[in-house]
Amino acid sequence: MSSETIANEDIVSWLADNPQIEVLHTAVCDLNGILRGKRIPIDQARRVAENGIRMPLSTVSLDVWGEDIMGNPMVFSSGDTDGICSPTGRGALPINWTTRPSAMIPLWLFQDAQTPFLGDPRQALAQVLRRYAEHGLKPVVATELEFYLVDPDADHARPPISPYTGKRLDSDALLSLDELEDFGEFFRDVYLQCEQQNVPADTAVAENGIGQFEINLLHTSDGLKAADDAVLFKRIVKGVARKHNLVATFMAKPYGARSGNGFHVHFSLNDAAGNNVFDDGTETGSELMMHAVGGLLSGMAETTLLFAPHFNSYRRLRPDTHAPSAVSWGYENRTTAVRIPGGSHEFRRIEHRVAGADANPYLVLAGILGAALVGIEDQIKPPRPFKGRAYSERLPKLPADWASAVNAFEDGSMVPRIFDSSLHSMFVACKRQEIAGFATQVTDLEFSAYLEVV
């Protein structure tokens, strides 16, 4: 019996041991990292655990507003056919921020009982990990996610009121212990819920923006779990914030003039014996690590859309903002897109710093690990590591805007080696539809600037 089967059987026994649960949801993760699904009766849990639940394959390819993607072959031309949503093996996860005792069963999509639907972001990551396994390699992954707490009553980003002082936050407070203590009850509930959902929350810090925080998730040698953890963590933080009359946002840039929210990914690779193949006993790192870096840089422009998938994302990728704007790498250099952290050579790893916290964790990890693997397979050599301020005009740049990133993703030669054509075409169509949606909106700034002037 597989570990997933055991975990799925645990759904039924867990619910039997927790008769207080009144509400049970099932959910898959769509292209934008949004969980979508159904509420089911508690007594249907065994059926879901054993046979899954039917939902349209197009469920994972809605735009950010929840609308069908026009021209998506999964919708009208195919009759909007169903797939099978099966439990991921995570079991039933308790939820403590809702008004009634609740739980959620995470699912992923199959075309039928045995065939993965590779348009599902989680299945796309699983496909990349299978390729690593064929090479006898296993990624070890850790993530860092930043978010802002904001006032729930404002119609734009506004700093929250401290539950402790009763005053509105009014300044940046990098590494402030006072700010962590001000929101101590919020963090207590986040850590409690993470423990209950087996999300390995580690260090929390106050970050560089007003009401901005970061929580690191511990590394794991299960790449799917690392992405699961990040998806669940974002939902936990947002749910617990609502419980405390706050709003938590993972928008890449909620404040135009303040720090953006990043999603940094650290990874190394183990061989079958558990040895870190990035470690060659030196400060430089192994040749295989160099090839992984080469792949990341070679595919950086065409994979940027995965790391910056929204209109707001491109406000973050600007020079001198603690976010990268150039295709670059270096040792202990936080201005580069790819950083090799210092420390003992035994823990040699790569930090990828491009993604914003608004990105889909499954697609982020699939894009990073996929590009690194192409670099290893093709033995791509990176340029010399960059020293100093990596916003130099002479370095190649990331796509400067959303439309350019979509074009690079659509036309890139590496992306088809990472993703199935179904996900590739759906993601492009999704982003083009969202671009069109934003293009039809006239902003308040435009109206005030031009109404009587031009």
Least confident of 69-83, 103-117, 337-351: 69-83
| % residues pLDDT > 70 (the chain) | 95
In this prediction, residues 57-63 reach a mean pLDDT of: 93
Q: How confident is residue 374, by pLDDT bands cut at 50, 70 and 90? A: very high
Q: Quick check: helix, strand or coil at residue 176?
A: coil
Q: Let me know: does 226 contact 30? Beta carbons within 8 Å.
A: no
What pLDDT sits at residue 5? 44
Q: Which residues contact 341 (CB under 8 A, 6 or more apart)?
A: 266, 332, 349, 351
| 393-398: average pLDDT | 90
What average pLDDT score do residues 71-83 get?
Answer: 71
Q: Which amino acid is at 19?
A: P
Give the model's pLDDT for residue 2: 42
Report pLDDT for 74. Answer: 67
How is domain 130-419 classified at the CATH fold level? Answer: Creatine Kinase; Chain A, domain 2 (3.30.590)
Q: Per-residue pLDDT for 175 more than 60?
A: no
For residue 348, give the 3-state DSSP assignment.
coil
Q: Express each pLDDT in 376-390 by its tens digit.
A: 999 999 999 999 999
Q: Which of 188-192, 234-238, 319-323 has the lowest mean pLDDT?
A: 319-323
- Tell me: pLDDT of 77 over 80: no
Alpha-carbon gap, residue 14 to 423, rounded angstroms: 34
Instruction: State yes or no: pLDDT of 3 exceeds 50.
Output: no
**Cα–Cα distance for residue pair 350/150, rounded to 1 Å:** 32
* Residue range 160-183: mean pLDDT, rounded: 77
Q: What is the pLDDT of residue 208?
A: 75
Cα gap 245→453, rounded to integer Å: 41
**Helical (H) or strand (E) element with 374:** helix 361-378
DSSP 312: G
For 401-435, how does the pLDDT look when each residue is reduced to its tens digit (9 = 90+)? Answer: 999 999 999 999 999 999 999 999 999 999 999 99
- The Cα–Cα gap between 233 and 357 comes to 11
Residue 73: which pLDDT band, with cuts at 50, 70 and 90?
A: low
Reported as a single tens digit per residue, the pLDDT across 192-211 is: 999 999 999 999 888 778 88
For position 166, what pLDDT does the model report? 83
Q: Is the pLDDT of residue 174 over 80?
A: no
pLDDT at 6 over 50: no
Asked which of 52-66, 73-87, 216-230 is least confident by mean pLDDT, the reply is: 73-87
Q: Copy the structure tokens of residue 427.
A: 């993601």
Region of poorest pLDDT, from 98-112, 173-187, 232-246, 361-375: 173-187
CA pair distance 163, 214, nearest whole angstrom: 19
Per-residue pLDDT tens over the stretch 341-356: 998 999 999 999 999 9
Indicate whether 149 pLDDT > 80. yes
- CATH 3.10.20.70 residue spans of the chain: 3-117
The CA-atom distances, in angstroms, between 104 and each of 25, 86, 225, 236 are: 5, 13, 16, 12
Q: So what's the pLDDT on residue 8?
A: 64
The mean pLDDT of 325-333, rounded to a whole number, is: 95
**pLDDT, averaged across the chain:** 92
Look at 33-37, 133-137, 427-431, 439-443 and tell me which has the smallest mean pLDDT: 439-443
Q: What is the CATH number of domain 3-117?
A: 3.10.20.70
In this structure, of 217-221, 318-322, 433-437, the range with the lowest mean pLDDT score is 318-322
DSSP 98-129: SSS-EEEEEEEEESSSS-B-TTSHHHHHHHHH
pLDDT confidence of residue 79: 59
154-167 pLDDT, tens per residue? 788 888 888 888 88
Where in the chain is CATH 3.30.590.10? 130-419
Alpha carbon distance 62, 78 (integer Å): 16
The answer to whether residue 78 scores a pLDDT higher than 90 is no
* 160-174, 242-256, 314-328, 338-352, range with the lowest pLDDT: 160-174
pLDDT of 22 over the 80 cut: yes
